[in-house]
Chains A and B, each alone.
Chain A
Amino acid sequence: GQNIDQPTEMTATEGAIVQINCTYQTSGFNGLFWYQQHAGEAPTFLSYNVLDGLEEKGRFSSFLSRSKGYSYLLLKELQMKDSASYLCAVLDSNYQLIWGAGTKLIIKP
Chain B
Amino acid sequence: ETGVTQTPRHLVMGMTNKKSLKCEQHLGHNAMYWYKQSAKKPLELMFVYSLEERVENNSVPSRFSPECPNSSHLFLHLHTLQPEDSALYLCASSQDMTAGGNEQFFGPGTRLTVL
Contact = CB atoms under 8 A, between A and B. Distances in A.
Contact of B109 (A31, A42, A44, A99): A42
A91 B96 CA distance: 13
Contacts of A98: 42
A100 B97 contact: no
**Size band of the interface chain B makes with A:** 20 to 34
Nearest to B106: A42
Chain A CB within 10 Å, residue with most, of B2, B48, B102: B102
Interface in A35-85: 41-45, 48, 50
Contact of B45 (A4, A31, A50, A97): A97
Interface of B: 2, 4, 40-43, 45, 48, 56, 90, 97-99, 102-109
24 contacts: A4-B42, A8-B40, A30-B99, A30-B102, A42-B90, A42-B106, A42-B108, A42-B109, A43-B43, A43-B90, A44-B106, A45-B104, A45-B105, A87-B43, A94-B56, A95-B98, A95-B102, A96-B56, A97-B45, A97-B102, A97-B104, A99-B42, A100-B42, A101-B41
